[in-house]
Amino acid sequence: MNIAGKQARSILTKASGYLTGYTYSLNPYTGCSYGCSYCYVRQMPVNRFRKEEWGAWVDIKENAAELYVKEMRRARKKHNIITIFMSSSTDPYQPVEVQERITRSILKSMVEIPPDFLLLQTRSPLVTRDMDILQALKDRLLVSITVETDREDIRKQFTPKAPPIAGRLRTLAELKEVGIPAQAAVSPVLPCSREFAGKLHSVVDRVTIDDYFMGDGSGGKRTSNLGVYDLYKKIGLEDWFHPEAYKKVLDQFKEYFHEDQIYISQEGFLPPVSDGIGSKTKGTFDQKE
Cα gap 116→251, rounded to integer Å: 34
For the range 105-109, what are the long-range contacts, defined as Cβ-Cβ under 8 Å and sequence gap of 24 or more?
105/64, 105/65, 106/11, 106/26, 106/28, 106/64, 106/65, 106/68, 107/133, 107/134, 107/137, 108/65, 108/133, 109/65, 109/68, 109/69, 109/72
What is the overall mean pLDDT for the chain? 92
- Is 50 exceeded by the pLDDT of residue 284? no
For residue 276, give the 3-state DSSP assignment.
coil
Residue 45 pLDDT grade (very low, low, confident, very high; cuts 50, 70, 90): confident
**Which residue, 251, 83, 265, is CA-closest to 185?**
265
The angle, 0 to 180 degrees and rounded to 10, between the axes of the packed helices 64-75 and 102-112 is 30
User: Could you give phi then psi for residue 160, rounded to 5 degrees?
Assistant: -65, -25
Largest CA distance in the chain: 55
Q: How many whole angstroms separate alpha carbon 8 and alpha carbon 62?
A: 7
Q: What is the pLDDT of residue 278?
A: 38
Residue 277 reports pLDDT greater than 50: no
Span 161-211, pLDDT tens digits: 999 999 999 999 999 999 999 999 999 999 999 999 999 999 999 999 999
* Strand-pair category, 117-122 with 141-146: parallel
Helix (H) or strand (E) segment spanning residue 30: strand 29-30
Of the chain, the percentage scoring pLDDT greater than 70 comes to: 93
Identify the residue with better confidence: 46 or 152.
152
The total number of residues written for the chain in this structure = 289
Domain residue ranges of the chain, discontinuous segments joined by + = 1-143, 147-268
Query: What is the CA angle 228-159-249, rounded to 5?
Result: 70
pLDDT category, 248, cuts 50, 70, 90? very high
Answer yes or no: is pLDDT of 5 > 70: yes
Residue type present at position 9? R
Q: Please, which pLDDT band fits residue 20 given cuts at 50, 70 and 90?
A: confident
| Digit-coded pLDDT (tens) for 206-241 | 999 999 999 766 777 777 788 999 999 999 999 999
pLDDT of 272 reads 86
Least confident window among 7-16, 70-79, 212-221, 271-280: 271-280
Instruction: Return d(Cα 52, Cα 257) in angstroms, integer.
Output: 42
Q: How confident is the model at residue 273 (pLDDT cuts 50, 70, 90)?
A: low
